[in-house]
Structure 1
Amino acid sequence: MAEDTGNWTNLTGVDYDGWDPDTDPPLSCYSVHNEYTTKAYLVPIYQIIGPILVNLCALSVIGNTVILCTVFFIRKKHLTPTLMFSLSLAGADAVAAMSMGLGFFVNNILLLNFDINIAYRDCIVLVVESFRLATMVCSALHFLMLAVNHWLGIIRPLHYASRMTRKLAWICIVVMWVSPLVGFFAVFSLMPGRGFRSTKCQDVEFAHRFPFRAAVSALFFIPVTLMSVVYVHVFIVLYFHRKRLLSLDVTGSNNDEKRRMQSNTKALVTTLIILLTYLIGWLPAVINYVLVCDGCIFPLTISLCIRLPTNIVTNLLIVLKFLVDPIIYTARIQEVRMVINYPLRKQID
């Protein structure tokens, strides 16, 4: 979903189709008309934007990896399926940020900033794209699983512990990670003469066409739609459950039930906050992905004045989502906060 910079040759001192960088006025997004003048226009922009995006991705990888590693310091009795899914989701963000950062480095830093077109660049980019698309779907599956998990905990509280065990949670996590990765690598590997089976992975035209992009977008929108239905049902049940509790006398059993409901509600709110960042980060990119392509509403030849800022903003939103989530985990999840704050408490003591 990142800006495709293409395969260009050296810029310096060459007249490209009537344009001379030494004598002609600076290019604008309206005046570019071929791949060479497009690169000449992009170079000064990505000399600034490229390093910023790469550094933000690096910070995101560090932040989400720290959150993921707290799993090794949380007591087993506190490691609930909800927490396991949340920490696994942080891992998906770390991998996605790493793949995006690598894509920016190869496409923008090496190619545009230093004019280095490394061997098998397209194969590297295809691997990065496989991981990026897979982690997007993996995150959507995590949110769907969290929605089902909350539904079970609130709708069937007495059966929750026996149905949603740690073993089942681990199985779900493995499936949510492996299936998207295997699926996308299979798509890019099984078609004769295309993807990984083409010369230096250069034939990826099918990935720029509407059928492929519509299928990828469906893998985003279907889980989002399903989880929306689940959460609407959960909120309706919580609303009537809260009204019922308020109408009853305050007894010991009712107090226990209230505490359980408050705990479920807090976990639910935390998930919804992270879901909101997921939608803000990924939704514009997915919409742009399925609207701008060969056979889409907007062709790939759409004006660079529209395409460039759109690509920069959508990628920036995704990276900012990766940056914000570790802060949410630390602020909202007590077990994570205790692990993160432990070194600080030791220094104070």
Structure 2
Amino acid sequence: MDNSTMSAYEEALARYDNNLINFSAVTMTIFSITALLVNVYLLNCARYLRRPVSVNLRLCVFLLACDALCSLCYIFTYLINIFFSHFSNCASLLLEVIKMSTFTASVVTLSALAFNHYVGIVYPLHRNAITPRIVKLTVILAYAIPMSIYLAIFTIFPGGLRAPIAFAFFNREGCMGNAIYRNNFFRASLVCPFIFFIFMLSFLYMHIVIHMRKISRDPLLNNKNNRRNNRKLLITILLLAGSACAGWLPTSLNFLLPLVITMPTRGRLYLGILAQFLHVVKLLADAFIYARRLIEIKYAIFVFNQKTKHQILRKLRIRHANEKEQTYVPPEFQRYLIETKENRSVRSKRVKSEFQSTDKKRAGSEKQKRPATKVTSCRTSPNGSKHLSVHSPLKTCKSVPSVVVQNDRTPQRSNTSVIVKTVRLPTVSDIPQLT
């Protein structure tokens, strides 16, 4: 009786665990699909970012791409491991390599974004040290190096891709056993980089918060605009750092705790489901943080929605009742359009071209106005002013500070007839002899 009761209880627990796994898989698949669609939508809107795109925006766009790829990896993980379990275990290990590489790429990118924030806030004179070229190189290395390392780890350790029936990606019996996940050194090698980056992010953002608090106490640097901008930046930084810690710490603990303590099977199951759920929610939360907190992405979303709306109406041959609606810009974007770098660069180029055109016109008018007259006699003018005004340009000249010109008819006592002029006189040797 007791054995039958225990067996029925164990069967009920096994059925409950199986239902819990299926329910969590369906729920997280739905969340992953939602995160994938939202991140792909934001990536499509990023095509309308105003140029030039800053380094922070480039890193944010790459983080969106990493989150989209992570969501896709989660979808395939649930499909292969739970819904279609007849796939090869080698395919699951290869998918795990891609997923871990994507996680690491997102961690490295977020670390680069934190470092750029740190340099721009704490050392503002060196904010241009991270160039777009360095960002491109970082993006390439953030994918290439982790992919190579994880592929080597999953191949070298026993029980991985070299398990019995090795590299059999289309064979159901390939890479059987999953013995690689029971290797403590393997689990530690996967967890340590994430823990290092989490502590580095925490240090950088805590130092940023301390530095911004010091700046807020300075009366010269603390005005209304600076307080508002610093508060907005601080909230964005805390949201990004909080989502990163909430998404990666449970996943790291899920790998690390079995190395330290012995956990029951049910506890490991609950911790694994919670860690994966928080990480999927983090992928969705990051997209809303970028779309809500960054004015550049908000404006790109507005432009994309307006263009999509106009294209749909044009295909349906529907005209706008109000033509001003097509060019309407919400008030929240007007200040951004005035202060944007693209607007300033266009304005500076226009001013520069205007200066160049005016210089060319001025040079042409001066060439046309140069008289080619001969030197007349100084006797024609009683005071010699006519000779000074119409003399031909000479090569050798000396600069005279001023010449006092006075009419002979007026008395010397009157000061009103004295005119001071600054002219350039030729040397005595170059003046032609007058007859």
Matched, 1:98 2:72: yes
Give yes or no for the alignment of 1:174 onto 2:140: yes
Relative distance call for 1:332 and 1:308 in structure 2 (3 A) is: same
* 5+ long unaligned stretches in structure 2: 166-173, 310-324, 327-435
Identity among equivalent pairs (%): 22
Q: Is the 8 A contact 1:210 1:296 kept in 2?
A: no
Alpha-carbon distance, 1:284 to partner: 1.2
Measured in 1, the distance between the counterparts of 2:232 and 2:184 equals 40
From the CA coordinates, give the structure whose radius of gyration is larger.
2
Q: Among 289, 297, 301, which residue is 2:261 paired with? A: 297
Match of 1:201 among 175, 197, 204: 175
In 2, the alpha carbon distance for the partners of 1:275 and 1:229 equals 11
CA-CA distance at 1:94 after TM superposition: 1.3
CA contact 2:156–2:162 (8 Å) conserved in 1: yes
> Is 1:310 equivalent to 2:271 in the alignment?
yes
Q: Deviations over 1:80-104 (max 9, x none)?
A: 1111111111211111111111111
How big is the alpha-carbon RMSD for the aligned residues of Structure 1 and Structure 2?
A: 2.8
DSSP-derived class of the 2:161 partner: helix
| Counterpart-to-counterpart distance in 2, 1:178 and 1:208 | 27
Q: Tell me, in whole angstroms, the C-alpha distance in 2 between the residues paired with 1:65 and 1:204.
A: 33
Equivalent of residue 62 in structure 2, options 88, 104, 123: 88
Over 3 Å counting, the alpha-carbon distance change for 1:27 and 1:297 in structure 2 is same
1:3 alignment partner in structure 2? none
Q: Which residue of 1 aligns with 2:11?
A: 27
Q: Mark the CA change 1:188 to 1:59 in structure 2 (over 3 Å): closer, same or farther.
A: same
Matches within 5 A, 1:128-139: 128-139=95-106
Normalising by structure 1, we get a TM-score of 0.76
How many Å separate the matches in 2 of 1:82 and 1:240? Answer: 24
- Could you state the TM-score of these two structures normalised by the residue count of structure 2? 0.62
Q: Is 1:333 aligned to 2:300, yes or no?
A: no
Q: Distance in 1 between matches of 2:82 and 2:221?
A: 63
Q: Deviations over 1:161-209 (max 9, x none)?
A: 2x11111111112222222122111211245x64223322235423322
Q: Per-residue CA shift, 1:44-73, capped at 9, x if unaligned?
A: 334433222212111111112222333322
The corresponding residue for 1:48 is 23
Q: Partner of 2:113 in structure 1?
A: 146
Contact between 2:202 and 2:241, CA under 8 Å: does it hold in 1?
Answer: no
Matched to 1:105, the amino acid is L
Using the alignment, how far apart are the partners of 2:28 and 2:181 within structure 1? 24
Q: Is the 8 A contact 2:247 2:279 kept in 1?
A: yes
Residues in 1 aligned to 2:229 and 2:214: alpha-carbon distance in whole angstroms: 17
2:185 matched residue in structure 1:
211
Residue in 1 that maps onto 2:202? 228
CA displacement at 1:263 relative to structure 2: 4.9
How far off its partner does 1:316 sit?
Answer: 1.2
2:285 to 324, 328, 331: 324
Q: Secondary structure at the match of 1:27?
A: helix
CA distance in 1, matches of 2:290, 2:82: 31
Count residues in correspondence. 298
Gaps of 5+ in 1: 1-17, 30-37, 112-116
Instruction: Using CA pairs under 8 Å that are at least 6 residues apart, name the structure with larger relative contact order, 1 or 2.
Output: 1
Please say if residues 137 and 180 of structure 1, whose CA atoms lie closer than 8 Å, have aligned partners that are also in contact: yes
Asked whether the equivalents of residues 64 and 287 of structure 2 are also in contact (C-alpha less than 8 Å), the reply is yes
1:26, CA displacement in angstroms? Answer: 7.3
